[in-house]
Amino acid sequence: MIRPCEERSDDLKPNLPPLREVIAAHGLSASKALGQNFLLDEQLLARIAAIPGDLADRAVLEIGPGPGGLTRALLRAGARVTAVEMDRRCLPALAELAQAFPGKLRVIEGDALKIDHAALMGEPYAVVANLPYNVGTALFTGWLSGAAWPPAWTSLTLMFQQEVAQRIVAAPGSAAYGRLAVLAQWRARPRLAMKVHRSAFTPPPKVMSAVVHVEPAEMPAGVAARVLEKVTEAAFGQRRKMLRQSLKALPGAIAALDTLDIDSQRRAETLSVAEFVGIARVLTA
């Protein structure tokens, strides 16, 4: 039984049972299909919850709370948390956590890919999540796409497979640089905030993980997001080819290279994010 906040201990936080006990008490064996790799180290969870900065009274959207390890770290940091979880088995454990932090945790049962996050939150919010790997990239591209900018979210603090995290922060010229880097960097600032060893998870996944923190930046003027997405899709769709080949099918793209004095013999991976933005700006006009 979790003691609610009113019966708080001297550090003003409710005493919570160890996460292993919560998992055992509710029979939460990890489901591979749902991408369940749980974090149980409360110090590590507190460090992740600290990455977005002071969360006191801030609205936080967490995707996939599972047994609630990251959720309790966010609540202890003073956040008002909305947690979207698909696995019904986790709901009783999360209900206990909601009792321990009255009025601070709202749990939504559902698929985060099918929910309108901005409408659900109704106010600016930070996203903090140890994402299910099978849906992580789809959620991430969803948060970074779209015409409206700045977005409703104020920051994204997300656990990814390390290889995906590296693709998000990659610089031109590296093997990891591609569409994901341009999408993440053209109007936002991503940074690799923390590497997490696979042994920190229960069960451990096959690969290492890393937390990426993203904050929105100013959107370059005169560029339609949809156009930039088309340019990067074409350019990196054939990343080994020269631009004059890979961009051939995109009307006006080769002329845009001329206008911008970009050598059409270069390959996509050598172009800076600013150069992609430049091409998209000419095409948008």
Give the residues lining the site for ligand SAM (CB under 6 A). 34-39, 63-66, 69-70, 84-87, 90, 111-113, 130, 132, 135
Residue 97 CB neighbour total at 10 angstroms: 25
**Closest distance of CB 255 from ligand SAM, Å:** 42
**Closest distance of CB 96 from ligand SAM, Å:** 15
**Closest distance of CB 121 from ligand SAM, Å:** 15
**Closest distance of CB 86 from ligand SAM, Å:** 4
Strands 59-63 vs 125-130: parallel, antiparallel or unpaired: parallel
Token couple for 112: 């985060």
| Spatial distance between the Cα atoms of 111 and 120, rounded to a whole number of angstroms | 13
Residue closer to ligand SAM by CB (options 52, 132) is 132
Token couple for 33: 């299909």
Residue closer to ligand SAM by CB (options 69, 278) is 69
**Closest distance of CB 257 from ligand SAM, Å:** 40
Residue closer to ligand SAM by CB (options 70, 152) is 70
Those residues with Cβ within 8 angstroms of residue 116's Cβ, 6 or more apart along the chain or in another chain = none
Residue closer to ligand SAM by CB (options 32, 191) is 32
Residue closer to ligand SAM by CB (options 89, 266) is 89
**Closest distance of CB 164 from ligand SAM, Å:** 13
**Closest distance of CB 218 from ligand SAM, Å:** 31
User: Which of these, 63, 73, 90, 57, lies nearest to 158 by C-alpha position?
Assistant: 63
E strand or H helix that includes residue 42: helix 42-50
| Spatial distance between the Cα atoms of 201 and 100, rounded to a whole number of angstroms | 25
Residue closer to ligand SAM by CB (options 187, 213) is 213
Cβ–Cβ under 8 Å, residues 105 and 98: yes
DSSP string, 151-191: -SEEEEEEEEEHHHHHHHHPPTTSTT-SHHHHHHHSSEEEE
Residue closer to ligand SAM by CB (options 60, 135) is 135
Those residues with Cβ within 8 angstroms of residue 230's Cβ, 6 or more apart along the chain or in another chain = 250, 283
Those residues with Cβ within 8 angstroms of residue 134's Cβ, 6 or more apart along the chain or in another chain = 34, 35
| Spatial distance between the Cα atoms of 171 and 81, rounded to a whole number of angstroms | 34
In the bound complex, which residue of the shown chain has the CB atom lying closest to ligand SAM?
64
**Closest distance of CB 62 from ligand SAM, Å:** 7
Residue closer to ligand SAM by CB (options 108, 219) is 108
